[in-house]
Amino acid sequence: MMRRSSGRKSDQLVTGSAAVNSTAGGSDLLRSASSKTVSKEIERIDQLFYTYFDRSSSLIGPEGIEAFCSDLDVEHTDVRILMLAWRMNAERQGYFTLEEWRRGLKALRADNLGKLKKALPELEKEVLRPQNFQDFYAYSFRYCLTEEKQKSIDIDVACELLNLVLGFKFRPQVDSLVEYLKKQHEYKVVNMDQWMAILRFCNEINFPLLDNYDADLAWPILLDCFVEWMRGEQP
C-alpha cells in the first residue's frame, strides 16, 4: 500500500513539474512576444526621429522641428509643441535628442505621426491637470534658459512666454501684466521666483478687483508694483 501511494505521489510530482514548466514556458513566450512588440515600437519611433534629425549633430534641430511641425499640422510656436518638449523632458530649446524623443513618444504611445496627432488632445489634458501644470509652467521657464548659468529671462521673452503658457488660462491677468511689463522701466529681466509667483498670483488673487492682495505677504516687489499700477489705472 505504501508503495502504491508513493507511486501516485511520484506521478503527481512529475505532472506538477510538467505543469510548472509549461506555465514557465508560457510566461517566457509572453515576455518574448511583449519584448518584440516593444522593440518594434522603439524601431518605428527611431525611424520617425531619423526623418527629421540633422546628420551632422545627430539631433533634431530647429529646421527639423519646423519640418516636424509642418507634417504635424501645428505651428512651431504652438503651445502644444512646448507641451511635447515637456513630455520629452527636453533640455535644450530647439533641439531633441534621440533619448528625449523616445521618452516622449513612448509615454504618448505614438510611434507614427497619425498616432501623435491623436495624442495631442490627451497631452493637453495631462498638462492642464493642476498637479502637472505647475511643473509644466516651471519647465517652460527653464527651457528658455539657453545659456550656461543663466538665471533669468528678458522681459520681452517673459511676455511672449506668459502669452503662450498662461494666456489660454488667465487671459485678463496676462494682458494686464504684459502691458505693465512693457511700460515699466525698472525691471529688465524676470527670475524663477518672480515667474512662479505670477502663477500663484493668477490662481489666488481676485482679478481685477485685487481686494485680497496683501503686499505684506511674501510677494515679489515686481507684483507689488504691478498691483499698485493696476489700482492706479482703475477708475
User: Per-residue pLDDT for 226 more than 80?
Assistant: yes
How many other C-beta atoms can be found within 10 angstroms of the C-beta atom of residue 148?
A: 5
List, in sequence order, every residue forming a beta bridge with 154; answer none if it has no partner: 189
Cβ(155)–Cβ(182) under 8 Å?
A: yes
How many other C-beta atoms can be found within 10 angstroms of the C-beta atom of residue 69?
A: 18
Superfamily for the 35-128 domain: EF-hand (1.10.238.10)
List, in sequence order, every residue forming a beta bridge with 49; answer none if it has no partner: none
Lowest mean pLDDT among 2-11, 41-50, 204-213: 2-11
Phi-psi region of 150 (alpha: psi -120 to 50; beta: other; left: phi over 0): beta
Return d(Cα 54, Cα 62) in angstroms, integer.
Answer: 10
Return d(Cα 235, Cα 232) in angstroms, integer.
Answer: 8
Angstrom CA distances, 156 to 84, 139, 178, stand at 23, 18, 9
End-to-end CA distance of the chain: 106
- Which cell numbers hold the place of 165? 503658457
User: Per-residue pLDDT for 1 more than 50?
Assistant: no
Cβ(191)–Cβ(151) under 8 Å?
A: yes
Q: Which of 123, 119, 99, 122 is nearest to 49 (CA)?
A: 99
pLDDT for 44-66, tens place per residue?
999 999 999 999 999 999 999 99
Burial classification of residue 134, based on how many CB atoms lie within 10 Å of its CB (0-12 exposed, 13-18 middle, 19 or more buried): middle
User: Per-residue pLDDT for 113 more than 70?
Assistant: yes
Return d(Cα 191, Cα 194) in angstroms, integer.
Answer: 5
User: Per-residue pLDDT for 33 more than 80?
Assistant: no
Task: Give the per-residue pLDDT at 34.
Answer: 54
DSSP-derived secondary structure for 139-164? HHHHHT--STT--EEEHHHHHHHHHH
Q: Give me the amino acid identity at 42.
A: I
List, in sequence order, every residue forming a beta bridge with 96; answer none if it has no partner: 60
Task: Give the per-residue pLDDT at 2.
Answer: 40
Task: Give the per-residue pLDDT at 233.
Answer: 78
User: Per-residue pLDDT for 90 more than 60?
Assistant: yes
Return d(Cα 54, Cα 52) in angstroms, integer.
Answer: 7
User: CATH topology for 131-233?
Assistant: Recoverin; domain 1 (1.10.238)
Task: Give the per-residue pLDDT at 31.
Answer: 54
Cβ within 8 Å of residue 108, ≥6 positions away: 87, 115, 116, 119, 122, 123
Does the fold of domain 131-233 match that of domain 35-128? yes
Domain definitions of the chain by residue range: 35-128, 131-233
What does pLDDT average to over the chain? 89
pLDDT for 167-203, tens place per residue?
999 999 999 999 999 999 999 999 999 999 999 999 9
What's this model's pTM, rounded to 2 decimal places? 0.83
